[in-house]
Chain A
């Protein structure tokens, strides 16, 4: 074979999509440095995104290996994970973890005013954990500037100048002199224009970790059941899994819209404040398991006048899961599964139960989807409910295809490389697009849509051509 031919072969072995994306990345990076943008910031972003999306993309691998193709219905797993996360938050609110973890009793109260007429009061622990349900107030003129403070009885507290405290329901409330009547009008909280300083978040947020582990346990439980059922369904529709999984995913998301809307939760961070029941679109995890993994052994490297942040814990979680999946693919069961996926007829002839293998692959994919979304929510800082997961399957499929997978073959490394390449591209391209064409805020999103779906289309057309 000639040198040119060899070179060509090496290139093709490396994967055409990968090459294209790497070139795009290089161009983007040079453009970014040309525009004098903050490169360390990009790198931190890339690392965080890698950990945030990595597991969701890894979830594609067992699916493709077992022969169901790119799992557009990863939303089944995602929904299970979200359900687990939400229930875990609710359990925590009901005091489930209080039996295991003792927190310092030091409560701060803030009364915020999100939309004018409706106000909410929150009680925080010292660690910054929010524990009260939403309390709504009727608007009053004096409630406009609102930050208050309450301390549980029995703890030392120094009363500042110009304030007195009143005992009510076990809390001592600080009241400015001359505002005592407020307590008798039925309001629990007092205005006081000072900032509440929360202590900085600890490296090991125990409550957060307990909550996320509970979420993971429940998410895995739900997704195992859902994954088995989903796998049984996919066994009956061999040959058209992609379109069906996409629409099963859509249906599940639509169905769970009602679940989110009606689930009788009572935790303040979950409920829609305006309606008093039903869940929010975005659940802020800042005071819960937001960032729990990122914070573990997180450190900054000063670089080029800025900081490169390494989210060690998050990346460790990703690598750990990749290792586990890799071990599984190396196990007897994993080998059988990929045999069933790559050549079902042959596998059947050698005594492998192809349908069972496909169910195992689907289930694993679904479970990884559930784990992935919980880790994603934690790192992103928000749980997004309702229609947010609708198109997540498409981006995940695109990422794994970039990594060098095809609709018939995928390795763990494809998922890792794909996650890194895809999200590097987004992390650089999105701010860059904003910089180059200012004033078009939606441009990065458009860019993402075109790339994601273009890659899937490319892979689909190649799959048939090959």
Chain B
């Protein structure tokens, strides 16, 4: 009973504090500060709700588990209060950064699951992406299809490099992170050599490709590649070639792809003389939805709307609301049909969150801001697709094997899993995804820094993932998304806040680098710390917990 009262006390306290902030919000004039108070209100309500639903013990536990996220949220709020930027600028920048950075951050997840820790080797994926972009331009690629050519070149390259790094990591189990860091720099040496001397020096690119290569070489056709390549320049038009794909085209492609899938499925079923419907119900439903969308797109107004490549933030938020509601309904129906338990508090929580998000679109000044925030649809869909793809992959047999390998290599070997092979596959997947992510990043920026564009990729991606609450041994899609938002919000706000507070942007710029480095160092320290503690505990009472199963594989056999 005391627990129950305690539980509600926390909730009531949180809600009251939020309401006070809400009231304070009306006393301030600017949209930005009011928005902040409203966000605090939202956070307070959500936290209150969560506390009421779960109880004080788990509230404490929640705070303990998410201290990095909470700390960074506090830093961001502090910067938000002190930065004198316009909300439009801030949110446009934030959503642009989210669109271009999240894919790479997601590429870190699989190695974490496979027990390789934070993959500092994604830098190598980024390098292969840049080689591929360069070659795609040399081969005369133009626009969207030129960029697809870059993807096609990057993929085998990244697979090859990922394989080599995977082999390397198998030789240094337990030191993968420092190994990845050093491997990144090591491969970078070869990368620099390739661009500085091989292109133009060893391979006379300007002679072989007189139409495309010379403008990218030093001194119009000399030895070595120039330090920045403008991807927006004619005749390539790589700049935002993915961002600028209209929604209509995406819809059409999805519709025809689904149609082909269903038709081929029917033909196969007919050929095998199986039940017509078997395994095709879900695709048919998706096809029907897409067909409705496709049909609607012929209405002139909708057609004009869909012909845009970008979606205003306000529509996106409404879409989020609709999708969340649909998802909750779908899960409820499925749970009822299959007789499985349905987690009511969790889904109520989702609904409240979605409603709160929708509520943000209502005030006039907010909706004005949200209309100006433009979201590039295709990159966002790629990110969304990857989120689902990773979640799906981890449920497959290979994904499950990776989990086992990540949890305990000895157990995995005993279960007949080829540990080394699984680890290499994880590295290859991560490297390929990182290379795609770098292509998405580069096409959005529109300017390729030939010699430095890839070097910091690992640092920023890992820092973002950790800010989202991930650890060395545990990371999920949620951590990645939250982390990118928080880390990049801080990244945008730190310099203007620093200007307001100290008169120069320098401290802000340095402090965001410190924050990134410190969060990585802290994450590594916390990881080992808990592992050492756990091992000690296991050693203290061996009869209850067999050490091999309870602790993670120790990094150094000697210690």
- Across the two chains, which residue of chain B brings its CB closest to A464? B172
Quick check: A236 and B558 within 8 Å, CB to CB?
no
Are B223 and A460 in touch, CB under 8 angstroms?
A: no
Is there contact, CB below 8 Å, between A258 and B532?
no
Tell me whether A394 and B182 are in contact in the complex, defined as CB-CB below 8 angstroms, given that A247-B517, A261-B507, A446-B189 are known contacts.
yes
A279 to chain B, nearest CB (A): 12
Most chain B CB neighbours (cut-off 10 Å) among A278, A343, A460: A460
Interface segment among B95-103, B191-199, B333-341: the answer is B191-199
Q: Distance (Å) between the CB of B523 and the closest chain A CB?
A: 9
Q: Does A313 contact B (CB under 8 A)?
A: no
- Given known A344-B558, A440-B224, A453-B186, contact A236–B506 (CB-CB < 8 A): no
Nearest B-chain residue to A233, judged by Cβ: B525
Given contacts A239-B554, A465-B171, contact A254 B224 (CB under 8 A): no
B556 on the A face (CB < 8 A): yes
Chain A hits for B532, CB < 8 A = 236-239
CB-based nearest A residue for B524: A244
Whether A437 lies near B178 (C-beta < 8 A) is: no
Q: Is A255 an interface residue (CB 8 A)?
A: yes
B179 at the interface (CB under 8 A from A): yes
Determine how close the nearest CB of chain A comes to the CB of B499; give it in whole angstroms.
Answer: 14
A303 near B: Cβ within 8 Å?
A: no
Nearest A residue (CB) for B516: A254
Task: Identify which of A244, A254, A394 contacts B510 (C-beta below 8 A).
Answer: A254
Enumerate B149-184 residues with CB–CB distance to A below 8 Å. 168, 171-175, 177-179, 181-183
> Do residues A408 and B223 form an inter-chain contact, with CB atoms below 8 A?
no
B26 part of interface (Cβ distance < 8 Å)? no
A265 to B260 Cα, complex, angstroms: 72
Q: Are B168 and A450 in contact (CB under 8 A)?
A: no
Out of B189, B223, B518, B529, which one reaches A237, CB within 8 Å? B529
Within the complex, the shortest CB–CB distance from A227 to chain B, in Å, comes to 17
Complex: chain B residue closest to A447, CB-CB: B189
Q: In the assembled complex, which residues on chain A have CB atoms less than 8 Å from the CB atom of B197? A: 437, 440, 443
Does chain A have a CB within 8 A of B62?
no
Given A255-B514, A258-B507, A440-B201: A461 and B171 interface contact (C-beta under 8 Å): yes
Q: Could you tell me if B511 and A258 are in contact, using CB atoms closer than 8 angstroms?
A: yes
Complex contact B507–A454 (CB within 8 A): no
In the assembled complex, the CB of A355 is this many whole angstroms from the nearest CB of chain B, namely 12
The answer to whether A251 touches B179, judged by C-beta atoms less than 8 angstroms apart, is: no
Main secondary structure of the interface of B (DSSP, over half): helix
Cβ–Cβ < 8 Å partners of B189 in chain A: 446-447, 449-450, 453
A239 with B514: CB separation less than 8 A: no
Partner of B514 from the list A244, A248, A257, A463 (CB cut-off 8 Å) is A257
Determine if A456 is an interface residue (Cβ-Cβ < 8 Å): yes
* Distance to closest chain A CB from B467 (angstroms): 15
Q: What 1/0 flags go to A58-69 for Cβ under 8 Å of B?
A: 000000000100
In the complex, chain A residues 394-422 whose Cβ is within 8 Å of any chain B Cβ: 394, 408
Q: Are A239 and B178 in contact (CB under 8 A)?
A: no
A-B contact count (CB 8 A): 144
B517 touches A254 (CB 8 A): yes
User: In the complex the two chains form, what is the Cα distance from A177 to B199 in whole Å?
Assistant: 62
State the Cβ distance, A454 to closest chain B Cβ, in Å: 6
A464-B518 contact given A238-B532, A344-B558, A446-B193, CB 8 Å threshold: no
Q: Are B182 and A456 interface neighbours, CB within 8 A?
A: yes
Q: Identify which of residues 226-256 in chain A touch chain B, using a CB-to-CB cut-off of 8 Å.
A: 233, 236-240, 242-244, 246-248, 250-251, 253-255
Check: B559 CB closer than 8 A to any chain A CB: yes
A253 to B182, CA, bound (A): 18
Q: How far is A258 from B201 in the complex, measured between Cα atoms in Å?
A: 42
Please classify how large the interface on chain B is, using the bins under 10, 10 to 19, 20 to 34, 35 or more: 35 or more
Which residues in A have their C-beta under 8 angstroms from that of B538? none
How distant is the Cα of A246 from the Cα of B182 in the complex, in angstroms? 10
Q: Which residues of A are found within 8 Å of B514, using beta-carbon distances?
A: 251, 254-255, 257-258
Please measure, in the bound complex, the distance between the C-alpha atom of A456 and the C-alpha atom of B184, giving whole angstroms.
12
Let me know if A26 is at the binding interface, CB within 8 A: no
A434 to chain B, nearest CB (A): 12
Q: Which label, helix, strand, loop or mixed, suits the secondary structure of the A interface? A: helix
Q: Are B555 and A239 in contact (CB under 8 A)?
A: yes
Flag if A242 contacts B178 (CB, 8 Å): yes
Let me know if B183 and A457 touch, CB within 8 A.
yes
User: Once the chains are docked, how many angstroms separate the CA of A453 from the CA of B525?
Assistant: 24
- Cα of A238 to Cα of B558 in the assembled complex, Å: 10
CB pair A344–B524 under 8 Å, yes or no, is no
Q: What separation, in Å, do the CA atoms of A261 and B173 have in the docked complex?
A: 40
Query: Does A115 count as interface, using CB distance less than 8 angstroms?
Result: no
Q: Contact mask A354-396 → B, CB, 8 Å, 1/0?
A: 0000000000000000000000000000000000000100100
Known: A248-B521, A464-B171. A258 touches B186 (CB 8 A): no
Measured in the bound complex, the distance between the Cα atoms of B511 and A442 in whole Å is: 30
Contact of A72 with B by CB under 8 A: yes
Contact of A344 among B174, B517, B559 (CB under 8 A): B559
**Is B510 touching A243 in the complex (CB atoms < 8 A)?**
no
Q: Is the CB of B182 within 8 A of A440?
A: no
Question: Is A24 part of the binding interface, using a Cβ–Cβ cutoff of 8 Å?
Answer: no
B298 within 8 A of A: no
A248 to B523, CA, bound (A): 11
Whether B521 contacts A247 by the Cβ 8 Å rule is: yes
Check B175–A440 contact: CB distance below 8 A: no
Q: Which of A72, A278, A437, A464 contacts B506 (CB 8 A)?
A: A278
> Once the chains are docked, how many angstroms separate the CA of A440 from the CA of B196?
7
Chain A residues closer than 8 Å to B145, beta-carbon distance: none
Q: Which residues of A contact B520 (CB under 8 A)?
A: 247, 250-251
Q: Check A439 for interface membership: any CB of B closer than 8 A.
A: yes
B558:A240 contact, CB within 8 angstroms: no
B393 contacts partner chain A, Cβ-Cβ < 8 Å? no
**Contact indicator B525/A242 (Cβ below 8 Å):** no
- Specify which of B168, B173, B525, B554 is in contact with A457 (CB 8 Å cutoff): B168
Please report the C-alpha to C-alpha distance between residue A243 and residue B517 in the assembled complex, in whole angstroms: 12
Q: Min CB distance, A301 to chain B, in Å?
A: 36
A262 at interface (Cβ–Cβ under 8 A)? Answer: yes
Q: B305 near A: Cβ within 8 Å?
A: no
Contacts A243-B178, A246-B181, A254-B513; A446 near B192 (Cβ below 8 A): yes
List, sorted by A's number, 13 A–B pairs whose CB atoms are closer than 8 Å.
Answer: A236-B529, A236-B532, A239-B554, A243-B175, A244-B521, A446-B192, A446-B196, A447-B189, A450-B186, A453-B182, A457-B183, A457-B186, A460-B182
Known: A238-B556, A239-B531. 4 other contacts (CB 8 A): A236-B525, A239-B559, A240-B555, A242-B178
Q: Which positions in A face B, CB cutoff 8 Å?
A: 67, 72, 233, 236-240, 242-244, 246-248, 250-251, 253-255, 257-258, 261-262, 278, 343-344, 391, 394, 408, 437, 439-440, 442-443, 446-447, 449-450, 453-454, 456-457, 460-461, 463-465
List the 6 closest pairs (A to B, CB-CB), nearest first.
A450-B189, A453-B186, A461-B171, A243-B177, A237-B528, A247-B521
